[in-house]
């Protein structure tokens, strides 16, 4: 979990509302989706609101795992925002995606805030 100051600093950089939500399936494989509905609710403990449609592939993984990561993208990661806005079967090849595991077992996109 991040500290109150780290959380405030990260949320303070959030300008346009585009984040990538990450979670895992039963095998520990990452699943991600772009979410432009993200709201900081509370600083301590850090609480956020993310709206995910029930019909998305990622929703089932989120519901089952009960945990997720919020990746606030940097300007140079615009391509990732567009990539994860598509259904998995519609995503183009050639987009480099790399994750690092968080302390909580959730994958986080490398170089995101």
Q: Which fold has domain 4-109?
A: Pnp Oxidase; Chain A (2.30.110)
Domain-wise residue ranges, the chain = 4-109
Which of left, alpha, beta for 78 (phi over 0: left; psi -120 to 50: alpha)? alpha
Q: What is the DSSP letter of 28?
A: S
Answer yes or no: are the C-beta atoms of 84 and 23 closer than 8 Å.
no
- Note down pLDDT in tens along the chain; length 113 residues: 788 888 878 876 766 567 999 999 999 999 999 997 888 899 999 999 998 988 888 899 999 999 999 999 988 898 999 999 998 889 988 899 999 999 888 999 999 98
């Amino acid at each position: 979990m991040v500290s109150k100051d780290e959380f405030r600093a990260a949320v303070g950089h959030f300008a346009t509302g585009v984040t990538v939500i990450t979670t895992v399936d039963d095998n520990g494989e990452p699943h991600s989706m772009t979410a432009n509905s993200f709201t900081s609710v509370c600083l301590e403990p850090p609480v956020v609101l993310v709206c995910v449609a029930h019909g998305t592939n990622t929703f089932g993984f989120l519901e089952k795992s009960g945990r997720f990561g919020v990746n606030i993208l940097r300007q140079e990661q615009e391509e990732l925002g567009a990539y994860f806005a598509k259904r998995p079967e519609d995503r183009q090849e050639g987009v480099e995606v790399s994750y690092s595991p968080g302390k909580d077992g959730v994958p986080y996109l490398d170089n995101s805030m």
